[in-house]
């Protein structure tokens, strides 16, 4: 046996570890930090991350439908989404190992600089995360980091390029035992993308939730029109049947859509094209316009969006404008009904308009995020923390119930009754229930805690009380921007609270891939809650209607509510929603590690 050579001098030690010809730093794979042009972003290659991960002998779980521990099946591997990804991988190469990737992105403020000054933006990727260690961040890596004001398109294109390339079987060296190892082929497949609504809209070039056609992510419909928002909610008959565990599906004899977007129609916008596919115009898209009651064709049905339908719409628009079948305004109006962002619509229509006189101009490239293999709009998930807690729980408490208390002049009484209860819960210092007395300073974790205990809050006070306090933004009753307050009765208020508690309980309590019965129950309670919001808000809409103008309902102006309708399909396709929460080290918790190095932000 040869004697072990132990470095005795600093120079020898430096050569061995740092800058020698075969130093440990150069031999071991280590991700290279790339600077992406002038955007201010830095980026780390996904391929190099996988090499680094395997070189350190960390676990990488394959996306397969096999029993896990104690005969429990893998959640993602046994989900319909996981099975499809594994099957598509097998079609490419039978000896390749399918490995899931989950993306997450968001902005964050530095530790010492409030009000979004110097805030940063980051992308994280969780690659092959083991199911028994899903929330620790053991397989989560930072992909990019840069200023929130920077151009994110370069980063998105870089991530999409790598995901497209690595979806094909790629060889990696996988250490097995000691110095031994083997070369394996790995195919990375994007399981889902976890983002809040603005992030997702930016990623897929959609308009935001307050856009005309963006009320529900994944669908395009103008829900600001009375013909749409009056028809979408369940009627009293459908709601009563659902409340009594009767027929849960839309009744054929009813005129309501029962919260089903496929039954919604809306009037076409100004400048919408009038020429469509025919023998003379084979390049134009099919005519989707409809007529009502013998009127002219001026309505279209809401669209369920897919990347393939968006590609066809952009191709058709470019060809029709360049061929002078449509005007530039016609093309913009047509693409607008697909909920695309104004910036991308402008890019397509201007290029097509210029191509009329210069045939060498080509159609602008389709966003690379539309071309990631096996990915589609339904895989871009609105995470529960933003949608349910920071979104709906906050809206129900501060926008609806606080405004109702203001109208009844009972805000101070409720604040007096609820503060001791919240204080007692806060004093327990429960790690799963971060209670705070002051609603004005609530963050995501506080709204999650409030959702858990809100049903057990003191009863809403009855009788007359003194005027409400307005001296501090940290009181329960926040400033109300709306001029019209709900005149709902107390049972309707309780229906909102209990309906939301029942709904969020079902969303967060699914622990394994759900059956059709579980999904139907989830869908039922989502629609019950939305109907409770509609009934609560009805009096406010009626008061506005006295002036001859229909007031847009709260569930449309606050777009988080309609996002709940995506959760039954999400659970059916991807499995339980709760593991996709972002409070663990796949998302928000990892930001805390970054914040330590961002005292004053990026400038």
pLDDT surpassing 90 at residue 25: no
**Average pLDDT along the chain:** 83
19 DSSP assignment = I
Give the integer Cα–Cα distance in Å for 123 and 133. 21
pLDDT band at 217 (very low <50, low <70, confident <90, very high): very high
The mean pLDDT of 29-36, rounded to a whole number, is 87
pLDDT in tens, 406-424: 888 887 888 788 888 888 8
Continuous segment of H or E residues that includes residue 52: helix 46-55
Give the integer Cα–Cα distance in Å for 303 and 274. 19
pLDDT surpassing 90 at residue 372: yes
pLDDT, residue 481, reads 42
Q: Give the pairing type, strands 303-304 and 140-147.
A: unpaired
Q: Distance between the two ends of the chain, CA-based, in angstroms?
A: 57
pLDDT in tens, 177-193: 555 678 889 999 999 99
Give the integer Cα–Cα distance in Å for 376 and 369. 9
Give the integer Cα–Cα distance in Å for 394 and 387. 10
pLDDT surpassing 70 at residue 81: yes
The mean pLDDT of 148-152, rounded to a whole number, is 84
Do 275 and 311 contact (CB within 8 A), yes or no?
A: no
pLDDT surpassing 70 at residue 438: no
pLDDT, residue 476, reads 32
Do 287 and 276 contact (CB within 8 A), yes or no?
A: yes
pLDDT band at 483 (very low <50, low <70, confident <90, very high): very low
Burial of 516 from C-beta contacts in 10 A (0-12 / 13-18 / 19+): exposed
Give the integer Cα–Cα distance in Å for 559 and 537. 15
pLDDT, residue 478, reads 34
Q: What is the CA radius of gyration of the chain?
A: 27
pTM: predicted TM-score of the whole model, two decimal places: 0.86
pLDDT, residue 119, reads 83
pLDDT, residue 428, reads 85
DSSP H helices in 409-515: 411-428, 444-453, 490-509
Longest C-alpha distance within the chain, in Å?
96
Give the integer Cα–Cα distance in Å for 283 and 316. 6
Share above pLDDT 90 across residues of the chain, in percent, rounded to a whole number: 44
pLDDT in tens, 542-569: 655 555 567 889 899 888 999 999 999 9
pLDDT in tens, 232-281: 999 988 888 888 875 566 666 678 999 999 999 999 999 999 999 988 88
Identify the residue with better confidence: 383 or 352: 352
Please list, in sequence order, all residues whose beta carbon lies within 8 angstroms of the beta carbon of residue 362, skipping any fewer than 6 positions away: 351, 355
pLDDT, residue 580, reads 83
The mean pLDDT of 499-522, rounded to a whole number, is 92
Give the integer Cα–Cα distance in Å for 569 and 389. 20
220-234, 278-292, 303-317, 430-444: least confident range? 430-444
Give the integer Cα–Cα distance in Å for 237 and 445. 38
pLDDT, residue 432, reads 78
Identify the residue with better confidence: 249 or 371: 371
């Amino acid at each position: 046996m040869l004697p072990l050579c132990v470095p005795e001098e600093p120079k020898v030690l430096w050569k061995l570890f740092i800058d020698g010809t075969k130093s440990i730093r150069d031999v071991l794979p280590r991700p290279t930090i790339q600077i992406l042009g002038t955007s201010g972003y830095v980026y780390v290659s996904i391929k190099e991350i996988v090499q680094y991960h395997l070189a350190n002998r960390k676990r990488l779980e394959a996306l397969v439908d096999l029993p896990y521990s104690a005969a429990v099946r893998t959640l993602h591997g046994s989900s319909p989404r996981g099975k499809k990804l594994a099957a598509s991988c097998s079609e490419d190469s039978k000896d390749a190992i399918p490995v899931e990737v989950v993306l997450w992105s968001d902005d964050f403020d530095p530790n010492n600089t409030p009000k979004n000054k110097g805030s940063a933006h980051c992308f994280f990727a969780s690659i092959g995360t083991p199911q028994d260690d899903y929330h620790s961040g053991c397989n989560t890596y930072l992909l990019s980091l840069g200023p929130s004001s920077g151009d994110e398109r370069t980063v998105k294109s870089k991530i999409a390029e790598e995901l497209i390339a690595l979806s094909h079987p790629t060889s990696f060296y996988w250490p097995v035992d000691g110095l031994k190892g083997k070369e394996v082929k790995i195919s990375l497949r994007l399981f889902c993308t976890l983002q809040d609504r603005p992030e997702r809209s930016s990623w897929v070039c959609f308009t935001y939730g307050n856009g005309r056609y963006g009320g529900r992510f994944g669908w395009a419909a103008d829900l600001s029109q009375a013909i749409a928002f009056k028809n979408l909610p369940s009627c009293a008959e459908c709601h009563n049947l659902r409340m009594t565990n009767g027929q849960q599906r839309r009744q054929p004899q009813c005129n309501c859509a029962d919260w089903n977007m496929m039954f919604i129609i809306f009037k076409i916008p100004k400048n919408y094209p009038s020429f469509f596919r025919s023998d003379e115009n084979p390049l134009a898209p099919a005519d989707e316009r409809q007529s009502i009651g013998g009127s002219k064709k001026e309505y279209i049905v809401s669209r369920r969006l897919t990347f393939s339908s968006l590609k066809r719409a952009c191709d058709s628009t470019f060809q029709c404008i360049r061929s002078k079948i449509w005007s530039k305004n016609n093309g913009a109006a047509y693409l607008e009904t697909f909920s695309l962002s104004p910036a991308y619509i402008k890019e397509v229509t201007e290029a097509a308009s210029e191509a009329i006189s210069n045939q060498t101009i080509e159609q602008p490239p389709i966003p690379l995020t539309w071309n990631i293999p096996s990915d589609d709009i339904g895989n871009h998930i609105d995470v529960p923390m933003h949608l349910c807690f920071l979104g709906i729980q906050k809206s129900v408490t501060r926008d609806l119930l606080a405004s109702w208390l203001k109208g009844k002049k009972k805000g101070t009484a409720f604040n007096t009754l609820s503060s001791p209860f919240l204080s007692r819960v806060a004093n327990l210092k429960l790690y799963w229930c971060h209670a705070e007395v002051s609603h004005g300073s609530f963050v995501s974790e506080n709204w999650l805690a409030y959702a858990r205990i809100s049903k057990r809050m003191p009863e809403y006070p009855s009788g007359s009380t003194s005027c409400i306090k307005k001296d501090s933004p940290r009181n329960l009753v926040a400033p109300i921007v709306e001029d019209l307050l709900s005149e709902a009765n107390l049972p309707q208020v309780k229906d909102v609270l209990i309906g939301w508690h029942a709904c969020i309980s079902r969303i967060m309590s699914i622990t394994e891939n759900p059956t059709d019965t579980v999904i139907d129950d989830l869908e039922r309670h989502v629609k019950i809650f939305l109907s409770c919001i509609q009934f609560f808000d009805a009096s406010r809409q009626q008061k506005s209607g006295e002036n001859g103008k229909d007031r847009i309902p709260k569930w449309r102006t606050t777009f988080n509510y309609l996002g709940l309708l995506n959760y039954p399909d999400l659970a059916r396709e991807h499995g339980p929603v709760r593991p996709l929460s972002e409070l663990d080290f796949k998302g928000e918790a990892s930001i805390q590690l970054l914040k330590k190095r961002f005292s004053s932000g990026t400038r």
